[in-house]
Chains A and B, each alone.
Chain A
């Protein structure tokens, strides 16, 4: 046991970096540099809140799911997303303890728009195919970014991600099954999937974030890589997604809405039409197609149920 109290700030930092570079896991009560704690809080509370906000686009389709079987499947899926949110917010809450902050503060940060939710959940859903596509490709993209952090230096986050990734695999299968049924169905169903793919394609590329901070002026990539929270860059993750899903999309006789898309054999990477990064900048400022509507729904349900939370905290056992 190393006596942290007897060490200088520089020594603490050096010891900390040695630990994470040798693959050791940092636990909630361990000493950690301020920048590390702040980076984790930002990352994990955003991840947690994105799960909670991410339940909203899909829940729009839960009551409308077109069979008893699909109703059961999508309900379980949305429930899992809320469960992931709960798991992650608990990890974030532990990290926030030294600041005396709680989940209530996370919610307030979301409402006053200091805390953002993932760009993909600002998009509109228009048909049942969107519900399938979210499960298949959005969760598919999430598996790639989350797998990239499975070995994160912060132990509690890595542990939460392990469970989340295992469930996301089921989600992707759930989504794929909806998409397969549509892609093998009537002309109308096929058109529904193609339309969903056309609308969601740019959002799927944006999912991984811009290639560098040149786009938005800020990026968490450097800090998260330095601290061994993640391994790969945004662009590397996007390339993995394209590697994995382009063949699958094409095998369903769907057309990817990008005539320039091709694989460069020499450089061994996909060349694709860049999404509109100025739109991305607007989305992450909560000016996306459904940003404000979803925030309002979350705010209004939180206010509407405030009396319940007050009642619970007033109970004297």
Chain B
């Protein structure tokens, strides 16, 4: 155990763990939804490009789970695969399905929804990562620097898609506008730290919810102005994923992603 960890009070440790679970579960679910798209993206070049983002995101989740493992919360694979929905701290937005249908059948995934979710999510992730570079928790600072470099391209990629599809055919615009509505409706908990808000902010682990949300809005502003769109108004959360409140879509995802792992959780795969 490092000196940093030795000095943490029980209260601070609890706040660190909670934030780490939020970051880990967010990227893990976001990447899982991305992985369902593999082989089915609108064109081959996009399949290759978005797959890189999906892989990077899984890599980020793995780094956070590893920090949790280092803090003594169990091994990273168990944390990623075995925790039931009520213990998950991801935002509701990241757990949502890509569209109708199971990935093993012939799903009718919604690319407009994927573009909007990915753009809003990666831009929010960037606001958090920028703040985490100054986190009082050193291991998070180090991760933030690594993530930041990759995130630059993720945001650029999704922003381009967002602008293009909103500057094209009427059909594309209509689909994008409905997607924005769907995504924003689920954003109530994206900037929330849940029940641990007060200690997470007090220990300077990351900037306040309000500050991150404002940074996100400011980052979106130029794009929205150019497209003559009103900036989204974030609703109050109906479910707060940070407190373990989730839709059934999350449990279904967990069942799939852990199907093989659960056959034998003690063995090496």
Contacts and interface: CB of A to CB of B under 8 A. Distances in A.
Interface stretch (B43-51, B117-125, B145-153, B220-228): B43-51
Contact of B267 (A68, A75, A189, A300): A189
A203 interface: no
Interface string A46-84: 000000100110011111111111111001101100110
A7 B111 CA distance: 53
Given A52-B44, A67-B77, A307-B171, A78 B165 contact: no
Given A82-B48, A309-B43, A75 B38 contact: yes
A186 B39 CA distance: 32
Contacts of A82: 38-39, 44, 47-48, 51
Interface in B35-84: 35-36, 38-45, 47-48, 51-52, 54-55, 58-59, 61-62, 65, 76-77, 80-81
Interface string B5-43: 000000000000000000000000001100110111111
A62 B45 contact: no
Contact of B172 (A66, A68, A308): A308
A63 B44 contact: no
A55 B62 contact: no
B259 interface: yes
A210 interface: no
B210 interface: no
Interface string B101-119: 0011011110100000000
Interface of B: 31-32, 35-36, 38-45, 47-48, 51-52, 54-55, 58-59, 61-62, 65, 76-77, 80-81, 103-104, 106-109, 111, 164-165, 167-169, 171-172, 175, 256-257, 259-261, 263-264, 267-269
Contacts of B52: 79
Contact of B42 (A85, A184, A309): A309
A305 B80 contact: no
B52 to A, nearest CB: 7
Given A63-B35, A310-B171, A189 B164 contact: no
Contact of B268 (A63, A181, A311): A181
Interface residues of A, number: 49
Of A52, A64, A310, the most chain B CB neighbours within 10 A belong to A64
B106 A75 contact: no
A128 interface: yes
Contacts of B55: 72, 75-76, 79
Contact of B41 (A65, A186, A297, A305): A305
A72 B58 contact: yes
Nearest 10 A/B pairs, CB to CB: A311-B172, A308-B42, A79-B51, A305-B42, A66-B269, A311-B168, A66-B260, A301-B40, A66-B261, A55-B39
A311 B169 CA distance: 5
A64 B136 CA distance: 36
Interface of A: 52, 55-56, 59-72, 75-76, 78-79, 82-83, 85-86, 89, 128, 178, 181-182, 184-186, 188-189, 296-297, 300-301, 304-305, 307-312, 314-315
B168 A62 contact: no
Given A68-B58, A71-B58, A309-B42, A188 B263 contact: yes
Contacts of B44: 52, 82, 85-86, 89
Contact of A68 (B62, B104, B165, B256): B62
B39 A72 contact: no
A70 B269 contact: yes
A87 B83 CA distance: 41
Nearest to A293: B106
A228 to B, nearest CB: 29
A189 B265 CA distance: 12
A60 B104 contact: yes
Given A186-B264, A188-B264, A297-B106, A312 B38 contact: no
